[in-house]
């Protein structure tokens, strides 16, 4: 953050002579300090001088080119998806440097351009997307996910469109379900629609250290992790930061007093057999997709991926046109009730007319899944179970310091011989007990309890835990207010020449009534 990086276009070389084979405007930008740039200089030296350059020569050439590049006007930089001039750009990842321009002012919603106004940074395992084409529709998408209900497929469409959100919190998506329900295959398909890798699906193991997590996520756009059933407290907090946008600050190597800041805001995808029930803050920022066993409907992974590869260009064009509609109408779309993912909820709801979803269907699916998870987790917390047991003996409330209340709960698990049999997840100290109470606020309310923190004294934090009336169950109704807008107007300038691989789709962005 705050630093300028210099990029260079590296045209491919002819088999002999070291002469560029493409025009400079038809190749992607490459970080001048990347391994690709170093190898390019080595090939030029080998072909022109029949020997490789020394490290000192490469360093001198790179520093010379970098000094020249600093005099050029800067461009914004992005990884896979970027936002500039009220338009979204999706890097297709090919050697020609093409990107998809998604614009609310385009009658189709998108077009393929050869020179986007921002620079895309690519990792070494950066995969390629096909150019979007016409012909995509809802049934084509639904057929790929028989292990999800219709409501689950609505929620998944929201995840895909929400991954293009220009600003706001990305939902953290959990894929849950029993073994053999297709979570891993679905994770691969989702990644292939947005941010594919050369090596395949890209599912990795969720790291246990925050610095490792931030580094992995910052290296790409969509981060996917498999079998993420156990999430420690630090990683859960880091996932929340990644969803809304957080900074990782570390000391710059070989320096004193210089700090390197890495800003991370990325969509996340985690597959898990069970939800992390004690991470309510994380679940409140999450979208939960529950998969059912496939049984006789199970298809071979190879067959599913082959059919997906055939349909992907049309599905991608369909999604891009929906994103264009969201760009146009999101700021004027109101959703009630809303959550802490309000920006994402407005964005995906604005895209619903193009996705074949009923009014508010996506947000309803997200809310229903979170509510079902909360109900499923009722009674799973050891503190709540002991509070309920203690309150049946002493009345409707208990007040005191965190030390006093914790001791009262410990008494309920102490036998006449003085032996204590506490659950393994019960807070070990009064301080951890005081930290734990705010984290289970949603579960407390679901059990008809409320924890109110008072003033802090020398004896510790004061708390009052009392019974409250159970809130009525949510109706599941989501109210949507949409703008009345004309059909998206065509752009006022002549469109760029369309590459041969791209066929523009018909105008499908009807007015949202």
CB 159 within 8 A of CB 171: yes
Helices and strands of the chain, counted as H and E runs: 16, 20
Residue 290 backbone phi and psi in degrees, to 5 = -100, 125
| Mean pLDDT for all residues in the chain | 81
User: ω into residue 263 within 30 of 0, thus cis?
Assistant: no
**38-91: per-residue pLDDT in tens?**
888 888 888 888 888 888 988 898 888 888 888 888 888 889 999 998 999 999
In this structure, the dihedral spanned by the alpha carbons of residues 336, 337, 342 and 343, taken in order and rounded to 10 degrees, is -10
pTM of the model: 0.79
| Confidence class for position 421, pLDDT limits 50, 70, 90 | confident
**Residue (of 506, 190, 173) closest to 321 by Cα position:** 506
**% of the chain beyond a pLDDT of 70:** 83
Task: Give helix 402-411 / helix 382-394 axis angle, nearest 10°.
Answer: 80
- Work out the average pLDDT over 275-297: 76
pLDDT of residue 258: 63
- Whole-angstrom Cα distance, residue 267 to residue 131? 22
pLDDT at 357 over 50: yes
**484-496: per-residue pLDDT in tens?**
664 443 333 333 4
- Work out the average pLDDT over 341-350: 93
pLDDT at 158 over 70: yes
pLDDT of residue 160: 95
**206-247: per-residue pLDDT in tens?**
888 888 888 888 888 998 888 887 788 888 888 888 888 877
Give the 3-state secondary structure of residue 290: strand
pLDDT at 340 over 60: yes
Q: Rounded to an integer, what is the distance from CA 303 to the centroid of its chain?
A: 27
| Confidence class for position 297, pLDDT limits 50, 70, 90 | low
**109-132: per-residue pLDDT in tens?**
999 998 899 888 888 888 899 999
CB 484 within 8 A of CB 353: no
């Amino acid at each position: 953050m705050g630093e300028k990086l210099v990029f260079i276009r590296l045209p491919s070389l002819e088999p002999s002579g070291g002469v560029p084979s493409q025009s400079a405007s038809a190749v992607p930008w490459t970080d001048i300090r990347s391994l690709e740039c170093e190898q390019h200089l080595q090939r030029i030296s080998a072909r022109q001088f029949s020997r490789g350059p020394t490290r000192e020569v490469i360093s001198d050439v790179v520093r010379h080119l970098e000094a020249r590049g600093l005099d050029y006007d800067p461009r914004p930089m992005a990884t896979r998806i970027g936002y500039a001039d009220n338009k979204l750009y999706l890097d297709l990842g090919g050697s020609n440097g093409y990107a998809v321009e998604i614009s609310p002012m385009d009658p189709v919603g998108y077009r393929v351009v050869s020179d986007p106004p921002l620079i895309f940074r690519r990792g070494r395992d950066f995969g390629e997307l096909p150019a979007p084409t016409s012909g995509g529709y809802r049934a084509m998408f639904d057929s790929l996910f028989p292990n999800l209900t219709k409501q689950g497929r609505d929620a998944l469409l929201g995840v895909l469109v929400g991954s293009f959100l220009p600003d706001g919190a990305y939902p953290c998506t959990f894929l849950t379900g029993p073994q053999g329900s297709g979570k891993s295959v679905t994770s691969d398909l989702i990644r292939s629609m947005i941010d594919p890798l050369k090596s395949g699906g890209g599912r990795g193991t969720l790291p246990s250290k925050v610095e490792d997590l931030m580094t992995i996520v910052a290296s790409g756009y969509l981060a996917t992790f498999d079998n993420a059933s156990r999430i420690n407290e630090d990683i859960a907090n880091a996932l929340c930061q990644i969803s809304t946008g957080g900074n990782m600050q570390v000391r710059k190597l070989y320096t004193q007093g210089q700090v390197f800041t890495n800003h991370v805001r990325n969509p996340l995808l985690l597959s898990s057999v069970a939800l992390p029930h004690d991470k309510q803050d994380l679940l409140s920022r999450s979208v939960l997709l529950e998969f059912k066993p496939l049984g006789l409907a199970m298809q071979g992974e190879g067959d599913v991926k082959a059919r997906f590869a055939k349909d992907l260009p049309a599905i991608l064009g369909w999604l891009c046109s929906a994103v264009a509609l969201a760009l146009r109408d999101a700021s004027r779309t109101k959703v009630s009730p809303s959550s802490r993912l309000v920006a994402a909820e407005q964005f995906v709801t604005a895209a619903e007319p193009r996705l074949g979803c009923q009014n508010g269907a996506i947000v309803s699916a997200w809310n229903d899944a979170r509510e079902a998870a909360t109900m499923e987790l009722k009674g799973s917390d050891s503190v709540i179970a002991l509070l309920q047991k203690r309150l049946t003996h002493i009345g409707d409330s208990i007040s005191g310091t965190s030390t006093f209340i914790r001791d009262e709960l410990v008494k309920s698990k102490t036998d006449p011989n003085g032996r204590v049999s506490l659950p393994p997840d019960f807070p070990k100290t009064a301080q951890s007990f005081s930290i734990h109470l705010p984290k289970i606020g949603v579960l407390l309310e679901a059990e008809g309890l409320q924890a109110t923190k008072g003033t802090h004294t020398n004896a510790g934090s004061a708390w009052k835990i009392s019974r409250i009336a159970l809130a009525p169950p949510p109706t599941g109704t989501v109210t949507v207010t949409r703008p009345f807008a004309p059909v998206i107007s065509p752009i006022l300038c002549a469109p760029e020449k369309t590459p041969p691989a791209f066929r523009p789709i018909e105008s499908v962005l009807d007015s949202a009534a």
